[in-house]
Amino acid sequence: MSHRADFPLLVRQPTLRYLDSAATAQKPAIVLDAVREFYETSYANPHRGAYALSGRATECYHDARSRVARFFGLRDAACLIFTRGTTESLNLVATAWGTHNIQRGDEIVVTRLEHHANFVPWQQLALARGAAFRIVELTPDGQVDLDHLRRVVTSRTKVVAVAHVSNALGTITPLAEIASVARAVGALVVVDGAQSAPHMAVDVDTLDIDFYAFSGHKMGAPTGIGGLIGRRAILETMSPYQMGGDMIELVGDDRTSWNVLPHKFEAGTPNVGGAVGLAAAAGYLTSIGMAEVRRHEQALTAVATERLASIPGVHVYGPDAAHRSGVVSFTVDGIHAHDLATILDQDGVCIRAGHHCAQPLLRRLGVGATARASFFVYNDRTDVDALVAGVRSAQALFHGAAA
């Protein structure tokens, strides 16, 4: 299964091998068409106009929320807050919930896998509030060490923040087990879903978590749209951290009251076009089937991991394909990751090189940077062939230069 023909950019550039979907995904035509149609037929500021066009924009926005909520198995669509993406969503929780609930002596727990967006906000909150910041380490194959988690989490733990899937290694974390440990001490469970939402079925109502953050652009939606899914009981107790626009119910001279969910957390003019595109992306993935998306990416990851690991001088990081998403991180002896990416780009192979906004993880791995290939629904085995051939060509080039 490859759906390359659904993506105009890839159709127009048939020799391009795009292997950087963990950073951002290409956009299917159905998403581009939906956004264009909205702006051409229904664009206005929602919620504020008494005229018909504003009413249509409002309907588009509400319909988009309902469709995205269904994609995530969320029955209460009002508990889906539209944000700019995962980073804003996680900062919203750390700010609006954290500053009012974390006290001196409390503990905040993250894992070594975390993207900076689910590491730094909690680190800084701990510093500001006088709380302890704890890091759960990994097993040798790059999975969360559950035994260490159980030792780290104590009765003073107030938050356990974890990536559902690591952007740097592709590791799929055992959310059920992690949530069980957190629940035993009454801790909040905050999940970075940026890398799981596009690649596997997520049913938030069956997950024992409190918050799930995601980004639309990694799902094939436009940039600048994403969401935070939270428990209603918690969201209703939280104060907004941005103010103005439709998030306000009544403004008095001395006091202001807030609108109901989800509007309380959506200050300013909303990104309706982005929400429409996000709903279209969710519909597109649903039409393929998330089980099929997972099966396809797992097969590609298994082949890529095996073939790269068989090349002398190549080191692949992370667990086996059964425990990872469509991400393969590796290094090549004697070739810096950035040099490798530059050489591959000359042949139209696009990979990511660097620390992947996961410096604490790479520091523990003992490397400054890795090369990262990541797959999505438009990739197939010819992309793996091009990647492997590019790595071998880079080795030949550098060995020849050394000689």
Amino acid making up residue 13 = Q
Res 215: pLDDT: 98
- Are the C-beta atoms of 112 and 364 separated by less than 8 Å? yes
265: CB partners within 8 A, 6+ apart: 81, 83, 92, 96, 228, 235, 238, 240, 241, 242, 247
Alpha-helical segments (H) within 174-216: 175-184
Q: For residues 24 and 44, give the distance between their C-alpha atoms in angstroms, rounded to a whole number.
A: 28
Q: What is the chain's Cα-based Rg?
A: 22
215: CB partners within 8 A, 6+ apart: 85, 86, 87, 194, 197, 226
CATH number for the domain whose boundaries are 290-402: 3.90.1150.10
Fold (CATH) for 30-286: Aspartate Aminotransferase; domain 2 (3.40.640)
Res 1: pLDDT: 66
Q: Give one DSSP letter per residue of 158-181, joined into a string.
A: EEEEEESB-TTT-BBP-HHHHHHH
pLDDT averaged over 10-residue windows placed end to end, the chain, 403 residues: 93 98 98 98 90 96 98 98 98 97 98 98 98 98 98 98 98 98 98 98 97 98 98 97 91 94 96 98 98 97 98 97 95 98 97 98 97 98 98 91 40
CA angle 87, 30, 269 (to 5 degrees): 45
- Are the C-beta atoms of 298 and 326 separated by less than 8 Å? yes
Q: Give one DSSP letter per residue of 111-155, joined into a string.
A: ETT--GGGTHHHHHHHHHHT-EEEEE-B-TTS-B-HHHHHHH--T
Query: Tokens 């909303």 — which residue?
Result: 270
Res 400: pLDDT: 66
- Are the C-beta atoms of 247 and 259 separated by less than 8 Å? yes
- Token pair, residue 38, equals 């909205």
| Domain limits, the chain | 30-286, 290-402
Question: Which residues belong to the active site?
Answer: 357
Largest CA distance in the chain: 78
